Amino acid sequence: MQFFISGTGTDIGKTLVTSWLCAHSNYTYFKPIQTGAIHGTDSQTVAKFSKNKIHKECYVFKNPFSPQLAAQLENTSIDIKKIHLPKSDALLVEGAGGLLVPINHNCYIIDLIKQLKLPVILVATTKLGTINHTLLSLEALRYRAIPICGVIMSGDYNLDNSAAIARYGQVEILGNLPYLKNITRSALLNIPLPNKLKKILEV
């Protein structure tokens, strides 16, 4: 099984959620486009917290900007046709930022998802504003006929927001990774995967 982990925006917990999923499974990890590498990479984070196999990025840029701008600042550009999935029966692919983050002058992250033909697990924050951002993301995916597995909430539990997203977005809430004061591998392992996620990931 292969899935694309996307989010409703930047810094909402995609990498931590992906680390959580990998830590509880044998899924390997692939981040096709990495920006902000001057501060470290998401591959390093997932490797640290999961100990699972990591596939090499296709593009890595120093500046923590959108892929299009980060590439431009390094006098290059990204060709999504050169991005191919690694051979792995159990693979989680993490995007950069949200669905409509520009990759180049013509493509967004959502176009890469469409090209890779992967179903999406959408990560959404539990904070104020999440309903609007999540419903917009779901609408964008459905407009392009991209399969949606469900939504994982990231942050302190907010049952009202989760219920609203499930109802208005007509989508299943697969789980909630709560805020962790101290993020460690042990802390992630101590939070079991909900049965809905186990079923989708087949673990």
How far, CA to CA in Å, does 127 sit from each of 45, 110, 158, 177, 178?
23, 23, 8, 13, 12
Q: Determine the pLDDT at residue 117.
A: 96
Q: What pTM was computed for the model?
A: 0.94
- Whether the CA torsion 6, 199, 135, 177 is positive or negative: it is negative
* pLDDT surpassing 90 at residue 101: yes
Domains of the chain in sequence order: 2-28+85-201 (3.40.50.300)
pLDDT reading at 72 higher than 90: yes
User: CB of 51 within 8 A of CB of 86?
Assistant: no
Report pLDDT for 102: 97
For 138, the enclosing helix (H) or strand (E) is helix 130-143
Average pLDDT of the chain, as a whole number: 95
CB neighbour list of residue 8: distance below 8 Å, 6 or more residues apart: 98, 122, 123, 124, 125, 130, 133, 134, 136, 137
| Confidence grade of residue 10 (pLDDT, cut at 50, 70, 90) | confident
Res 11 pLDDT > 90: no
Q: Is-catalytic flag, 31? A: yes
Task: Give pLDDT tens digits for 117-135.
Answer: 999 999 999 998 999 999 9
Is the pLDDT assigned to residue 203 strictly greater than 90?
Answer: no
Of 31, 62, 82, 117, the catalytic one is 31
Euclidean distance between CA atoms 202 and 166, whole angstroms? 22
